[in-house]
Amino acid sequence: MATYDFVFEALGLERWCASGTSTVPMSMADLMARQSGEVATTTPWNLPFPSLDALNAACPAFPQSRQVTKGLESGFLGIKDSLSIVLDPLTQPLSWMLSGALQTVLNTPWWIVIPLLLLVVQLVSRSWGLVVFVGLSISGLAFIDHYDHAMQTLAIILVCAFLCVLLGVPIGIAMSRSDTIQRMAIPVLDMLQTLPPFVYLIPLIFLFSVTEPKLYGIAIILYAIVPVIRLTNLGIRLVDKDVIEAADAFGMTDHQKLFGVQIPLALPNIMAGVNQTIMMSLAMVVIASLVSAPGLGVLVLRGIRNLELGVGLVAGLGIVLLAVILDRVSKASLARINAAQPQ
């Protein structure tokens, strides 16, 4: 006799229960009890929670938990083709951008790429010490034949971080100008920020081919876009009300106030969001190597799969170097912006 038989007997649903057939696999404890001829007894101490499977054991017509997950899976697969028809053309430019960036860094000689990167670092940070550090780090990766993998990782991060800023800043501005949009967006941002990174890959694997760069590109963007949206919204909302009133007194339009007052004053917060977005992009690039994302993450994955300790450790140290470079450069840029702000 199942634990919750009395529930269905009290409700008079015996006939309905008899019409169903249970497909719940027998637990190991029940199987051992049957083999030994013992009858499992239920006490208040070991009373199971009335879950779907526990109720199904008492009434086979009651649905199982597996039926819920199968229903969700069937529903997603049912709309997969329609979603693909809509999303494929919308996301194809992302594949082109990622493929173009990867081909560019791989087909351009190192003696052009490395000085160009150092020039960008100098223009952004105005720090020769940081330029020397970046030069030594990239040269060290190239010396151990990790140059191509490091440049692939860097290219993916730059493309995805650029798109995160391009999409995230306008969303953050819209949230700052409308409480309704903010209330609608915050639950979505909370969900994106709390979902485990691997969960992003599950629906995308069904929607796109593993060979398409947009598969890992979309996962990186969804994972990394949240900080720049939140901090853009926060930065604009924190602009001093007295400054806004002064702008109104000068007869500024909303457009002039936004681009002439609010965004410049919110720029430190926006740049802090960009810094976090870049670091989260790097974290997701490594995980995205599971779905064909190239770069140093592939070497980390190879070290795990083949138990090659040295390969995994060296690639991991390369990722740490890239993280330090990106963090230092973005923070140097943020420091320059803060120094330029009126006190």
CATH number at residue 148: 1.10.3720.10
Integer Cα distance of 173 and 183 in angstroms: 14
Residue 64: pLDDT band with limits 50, 70, 90:
confident
Q: Which tokens is 167 given?
A: 């999409």
Integer Cα distance of 12 and 207 in angstroms: 46
Residue 29: pLDDT band with limits 50, 70, 90:
low
**pLDDT score of 157:** 95
Q: Which residues contact 207 (CB under 8 A, 6 or more apart)?
A: 80, 83, 84, 87
Whether residue 207 contacts residue 84, with contact meaning beta carbons closer than 8 Å, is answered with: yes
Residues 35-47 pLDDT 10s: 665 555 667 777 8
Q: Is 57 found in the same domain as 151?
A: no
Q: Is 278 found in the same domain as 149?
A: yes
Q: Which tokens is 71 given?
A: 């229903």
Q: What average pLDDT does range 69-76 have in this prediction?
A: 87
> Is it the case that residue 113 has pLDDT exceeding 90?
yes
Percent of the chain with pLDDT over 70: 92
Q: Which residues contact 64 (CB under 8 A, 6 or more apart)?
A: 23, 24, 52, 53, 56
Whether residue 269 contacts residue 231, with contact meaning beta carbons closer than 8 Å, is answered with: yes
**pLDDT score of 199:** 86
Residue 28: pLDDT band with limits 50, 70, 90:
low
- Alpha-carbon distances of 114 from 144, 163, 234, rounded to whole Å: 16, 23, 36
Whether 10 is covered by a domain: the verdict is yes
Whether residue 303 contacts residue 312, with contact meaning beta carbons closer than 8 Å, is answered with: yes
Q: Is 113 found in the same domain as 47?
A: no
Q: Is 57 found in the same domain as 172?
A: no
**pLDDT score of 253:** 87
Task: Considering only residues 334 and 166, tell me which one the structure prediction assigns the higher pLDDT.
Answer: 166
Q: Is 216 found in the same domain as 115?
A: yes
**pLDDT score of 51:** 82
Q: Domains in the chain: how many in total? A: 2
C-beta neighbour count of 142 within 10 angstroms: 16
Indicate the burial class of 33 (C-beta count within 10 angstroms; 0-12, 13-18, 19 or more).
middle
Q: Is 235 found in the same domain as 144?
A: yes
Q: Is 100 found in the same domain as 213?
A: yes
Whether 115 is covered by a domain: the verdict is yes
**Which residue type, as a one-letter code, is found at position 211?**
T
Whether residue 160 contacts residue 221, with contact meaning beta carbons closer than 8 Å, is answered with: yes
**pLDDT score of 34:** 57
Q: Which tokens is 134 given?
A: 């970046």
Whether residue 200 contacts residue 190, with contact meaning beta carbons closer than 8 Å, is answered with: no
Q: Is 286 found in the same domain as 145?
A: yes
Q: What average pLDDT does range 11-17 have in this prediction?
A: 79
Integer Cα distance of 148 and 106 in angstroms: 7
Whether 272 is covered by a domain: the verdict is yes
| Coil, helix or strand at residue 323 | helix
Residues 203-256 pLDDT 10s: 888 888 888 899 999 999 999 999 999 999 999 999 998 998 998 888 888 888
C-beta neighbour count of 223 within 10 angstroms: 26
Residues 264-323 pLDDT 10s: 999 989 999 999 999 999 989 888 998 889 999 999 999 999 989 999 999 999 999 999
| Coil, helix or strand at residue 168 | helix
Residue 2: pLDDT band with limits 50, 70, 90:
low
Whether 68 is covered by a domain: the verdict is no
Residues 73-104 pLDDT 10s: 888 888 888 888 888 899 999 999 999 999 99
What's the chain's Rg over C-alpha atoms? 28
Whether residue 289 contacts residue 219, with contact meaning beta carbons closer than 8 Å, is answered with: no
Whether 240 is covered by a domain: the verdict is yes
**pLDDT score of 91:** 92
Integer Cα distance of 40 and 246 in angstroms: 78
Structural domain including 46 reads 5-63
> Is it the case that residue 68 has pLDDT exceeding 80?
yes
**pLDDT score of 342:** 59
**pLDDT score of 27:** 55
Q: What average pLDDT does range 3-23 have in this prediction?
A: 74
Q: Is 139 found in the same domain as 50?
A: no
The pTM of the whole model exceeds 0.75: yes
Whether 275 is covered by a domain: the verdict is yes
Q: Is 123 found in the same domain as 198?
A: yes
Whether 156 is covered by a domain: the verdict is yes
**Which residue type, as a one-letter code, is found at position 1?**
M
Domain C-terminal end among 17, 36, 63: 63
Max CA distance (Å), the chain: 90
Domain C-terminal end among 63, 95, 113: 63
Q: Is 188 found in the same domain as 258?
A: yes
φ and ψ at residue 183, rounded to 5 degrees: -65, -35
Whether 73 is covered by a domain: the verdict is no
C-beta neighbour count of 4 within 10 angstroms: 20
C-beta neighbour count of 133 within 10 angstroms: 17
> Is it the case that residue 69 has pLDDT exceeding 90?
no
Q: Is 335 found in the same domain as 231?
A: yes
**pLDDT score of 178:** 92
